[in-house]
Structure 1
Amino acid sequence: MILSVFLGIDIGTTAIKLGVIEENELLYTSELPLQTYGDERIKYQDGNELLTILQAGILAIPAGLRKKIMRLSFSTAMHSLMPDNETKQIFLWSDLQAAEVIEPFKQTSLAAHFYEVSGTPIHAMSPFAKLLYFQEIKRYPEETKWYGLKELVMSFFTGTSTIDYATASATGLFDLRKKQWSNEILDYLGISVEQLATAVDTDQSFEMLPAIRRLFGFSSDIQVTIGASDGTLAAYASYYSTGRTASLTIGTSAAVRQITKTAQLDQEKQNFCYYLKEDLLVSGAPSNNGGVILAWAANHLAEHPAEFYSMLPDLLAQTEAGAKGLRFWPYLNGERAPYWSNEIKGGFYDLTLEHTRMDMIRSVIEGVLLNVRQLVKLVASDQELSVSGGFFQTPALGQLAADVFGNACYYAPQNEPIFGLYYLLEQPEMMAEEIQQAYLPNLNQQEAYKQIANHYFE
């Protein structure tokens, strides 16, 4: 099988990552930071600025390599919403403008029904919630077209405003089973299908605009394939490269994901379930509170913040499981699954004069992992986990995670959306699996954390 020289573009909420891949080998990679604007409530990116940064990133790829690229595709962050006007403001998942209107909607029978139809949790992060808010306050003209990150880049490269099924299925506006925009959800919001982009499958290809092709010095044979969303592609990268259906990523935030063939939804805890390809869905649960909480602890609890991560192995060796009964709720950033609340708060519980700084730091780490444990039990109970993210680059934290979850954790650095794109579209023959590190639960520690978890968040 002849594989394309492939350019994957991953547009996240903090950076654009580019990767040129041939025969499973990463030939070129770069990362370009993105600016988020707004305040505590409003979070958006500037679409015009994003396209300028993306252009500069592509032009930085050596010209000879650019000429060899035969396929270009996109991974984009989920839950973005952009009114199609000159400002090109792209409201991100972290935008909380809709928080006040979505809370009363949650109490209606329609909330449960729309969740069942779309597979998208009812939360302020979703385009459904944002549209509900914008429609209520009449901020934009009635005829406004509503797009997002994927439509922005597809319009730039191909001249067509299109969105893939995976990204569409995370909007709260899409019928997961029928694979089309939900008329009943759109009717409730008072918008029409014509105000949204055309939705196509994740492997749909388009011709690149000639002017854009010439701008970048691409071959006349290059194809633009629409791709999918970052969360589904991260899950697929893990699945394709390791064979494990369950994966966990802990970076700034965290998410547990499961590759599945059938829709798996829980009305109470509201895990998500999104489309990936014709025969595969991705079910999962996200947390706002991963590495961001450790960064907070480093800045505010550690004696020497710069040495925080290097001192953790010694700290964990010198303290005991459960931090002498000290509990830490990690909800400093609100929380998505399993609570779906912007009002939930974090803090220490059962703190006494006997607790030391080291106990406090250990309890912060345990609180983060015990919260993620709830998501693991919801999505991937009793399964091996393919794990990735900066958290697992510290072996002591990887071992602690395995002990807390009671699941074997295998560090797989290839859990990147760009590789997910490559595997999804090129279907290469995989090399022998290479695992950098395996973390197997210590049975004594596992049992200790099982007991601790029983009443930790009560």
Structure 2
Amino acid sequence: MNVLLGIDLGTTSLKVSLYSETGLRIGSQSREYPIQVPQPGFAEQDPLDWWNAFINCCQQLKADYPEAFEQIAGIGICGQMHSQVYLDQHDQILRPAISWMDQRTASIAERYNRDASIKDLIFENTSNTASTTYSAMHIRWVKENQPEIWEKTESILIAKDYLKFRLTGQKATDYSEASGTLLFDNQREKWSQEMFDLFEIPSQLIPEVSASDVIIGTVSAEAAKITGLRAGIPVANGSTDNSASAFGAGMISSSQVTLIIGTAGVITVCSDKPLIDHLDRTLCWHYCLPKHWVTLGIMQTAGESLQWFKNSFDPPDETGTESGDIFNRYNESIRNVPDGSDGLIFLPYLNGERTPYWDSNARGVFFGINLKTEKSHFIKAIMEGVSFGLRNNIETVESLGIQIQDVRAVGGGLKSQVWLDILGKIIRKPITTISGHDTANLGNIILCGKAIGLYTSYAETIQQLVKTDRTVAYPDGSEIYEKQYPLFLELYQDLKPTFKKAAG
């Protein structure tokens, strides 16, 4: 039996899973690690925390599943985007990795966006605009503010690529990961020398880029000794966690969508050409498949909106119940609340909003409170407001010239049949949920399996390994939601100047 190992290097934890070649998850281990905040607006991590978490997971999996662990035929990997590791000439870490969450580069991004010609140049080369998220902004900050670090820097690796380097001794990255640097020409699938020149970053600091489904090296004798893995196991190039998760949910064709309601809300739309948004509302990145791209809409606080409500009005010390119990009670409590929550509309902008507004001043609003409004109305209105926000993002992507047909849903928020039905009525497209909760590592092992020749066709492999759960379809939607949705959009536009005034 061939066994494949998947590694998902997330922002706060790393998960390692063993799979059979038939897609059966044999076992899984995860380890958490901290985010360091040396000062407000900063967010950093120790790359050794990632490596040590991986070692611990491997050792535990080997102890729990010794036979399967010895049969590992390949390793697939994905990870958090943007976060970068600085190495010296001896490949020693020079400073903590700067996380994608870090906001220290706001003034640098503003500097590049202020000049229209430079902003246009960046967009022309990368299909995106500068923001605090991109690696190039962080690298530029190190160059300007830590010259003693910059002078010693010989190579820069994104998070998962550092783990690959520790495993194989090879430095490499993939198209999807390169998209998050703002140094990559997404349309031409190659590094942009113009961006290296603009940001004054020597191109030799950045590794070669290639497809996700190629083998970049094998587990070294040194790594084998530390992790317990067998030396010589092939390691795939891998992809971003967003790409791997969408791929593990079965997204392989243009017009397919993966929708996630987790802390944030994310729609990832697959296309066979870059969908360029000249209005700068969405993100355009490369997918984990060659000649495939993804357009992303990202809500800041989706599932987190309901979590906020729970923390504020049903804290554990008062209810004595766990989060899962509370959310089950919420589902029951809203069953008799009519669609539209008797006129209550929620704007889910509790911590600003990303796409399509990019408005850090936006805030959450309950509109339409009346004497009939009860606690259950607020709960359902939150679910409806988040769903309106997701529809807004879907329609924004469709305005770029693609008709979305197939929506695949993953993430904890849509375990609720009630919320799934609300979302189905609001977006008016069929939504299919995916069985299992580790789609990122499933995507990892499919990419790896293809790289080592275990799988020959992605379409056939997806059909065999990705299992769907349930589908909801409300093509006609709901009359009340069709009336409320324009009001939802209008409320934000009317309040936008007020949000800005309040922030000032």
TM-score (norm 1): 0.91
**Equivalences for residues 162-173 of structure 1 within 5 A:** 162-173=172-183
Distance 2:389 2:156 in 1: 35
CA gap 1:265/1:100 in 2 versus in 1, 3 angstroms: same
Deviation string, structure 1 residues 229-272 (Cα, Å, up to 9, x no partner): 11111222223589982211111212111222111121211332
**Residue of 183, 186, 192 corresponding to 1:182:** 192
Structure 1 residue 4 displacement after superposition: 4.0
Question: 2:353 aligned with 1:335, yes or no?
Answer: yes
Residue identity matched to 1:214:
K
Residue identity matched to 1:81:
Q
Q: Which residue of 2 aligns with 1:418?
A: 441
Residue identity matched to 1:236:
F
Structure 2 spans left out of the alignment, 5+ residues: 456-460, 494-504
Q: Which residue of 1 aligns with 2:41?
A: 41
Structure 1 residue 55 displacement after superposition: 0.5
Deviation string, structure 1 residues 119-150 (Cα, Å, up to 9, x no partner): 44532111123234444445664433432202
Question: 2:302 aligned with 1:290, yes or no?
Answer: yes
Q: Is the 8 A contact 1:176 1:275 kept in 2?
A: no
Question: 2:237 aligned with 1:222, yes or no?
Answer: no
Structure 1 spans left out of the alignment, 5+ residues: none
Question: 2:321 aligned with 1:311, yes or no?
Answer: no
Question: 2:125 aligned with 1:117, yes or no?
Answer: yes
Structure 1 residue 375 displacement after superposition: 1.5
CA gap 1:88/1:137 in 2 versus in 1, 3 angstroms: closer
Deviation string, structure 1 residues 73-116 (Cα, Å, up to 9, x no partner): 21011121233364541222221112233235334332243234
Q: Is the 8 A contact 2:76 2:447 kept in 1?
A: no
CA gap 1:87/1:192 in 2 versus in 1, 3 angstroms: closer
Structure 1 residue 46 displacement after superposition: 1.2
**Equivalences for residues 48-63 of structure 1 within 5 A:** 48-62=48-62, 63=66
Q: Is the 8 A contact 1:235 1:282 kept in 2?
A: no
**Residue of 10, 13, 24 corresponding to 2:11:** 13
Q: Which residue of 1 aligns with 2:109?
A: 102
CA RMSD of aligned residues (A): 2.6
Structure 1 residue 309 displacement after superposition: 0.8
**Equivalences for residues 38-437 of structure 1 within 5 A:** 38=37, 41-62=41-62, 63-84=66-87, 86=93, 88-109=95-116, 110-138=118-146, 141-143=149-151, 144=153, 145-205=155-215, 206-239=217-250, 245-268=256-279, 269-302=281-314, 304=319, 306=322, 307-352=325-370, 354-379=372-397, 382-413=404-435, 416-427=439-450, 428=455, 429=461, 430-431=463-464, 434-437=467-470
CA gap 1:350/1:413 in 2 versus in 1, 3 angstroms: same
Q: Is the 8 A contact 1:128 1:173 kept in 2?
A: yes
Structure 1 residue 17 displacement after superposition: 1.1
**Worse overlay, 393-402 or 205-214:** 205-214
Q: Is the 8 A contact 2:113 2:129 kept in 1?
A: no
Residue identity matched to 1:394:
S
Structure 1 residue 341 displacement after superposition: 3.3
Distance 2:208 2:181 in 1: 14
Distance 1:260 1:44 in 2: 33
Q: Is the 8 A contact 2:424 2:474 kept in 1?
A: yes
Q: Is the 8 A contact 2:258 2:409 kept in 1?
A: yes
Residue identity matched to 1:46:
D
**Worse overlay, 25-34 or 313-322:** 313-322
Distance 2:440 2:102 in 1: 23
Question: 2:481 aligned with 1:449, yes or no?
Answer: yes
Residue identity matched to 1:61:
L
**Worse overlay, 318-327 or 329-338:** 318-327
CA gap 1:93/1:264 in 2 versus in 1, 3 angstroms: same
**Worse overlay, 430-439 or 170-179:** 430-439
Distance 2:40 2:352 in 1: 12
TM-score (norm 2): 0.83
Distance 1:120 1:15 in 2: 28
Aligned length: 455
CA gap 1:40/1:387 in 2 versus in 1, 3 angstroms: farther
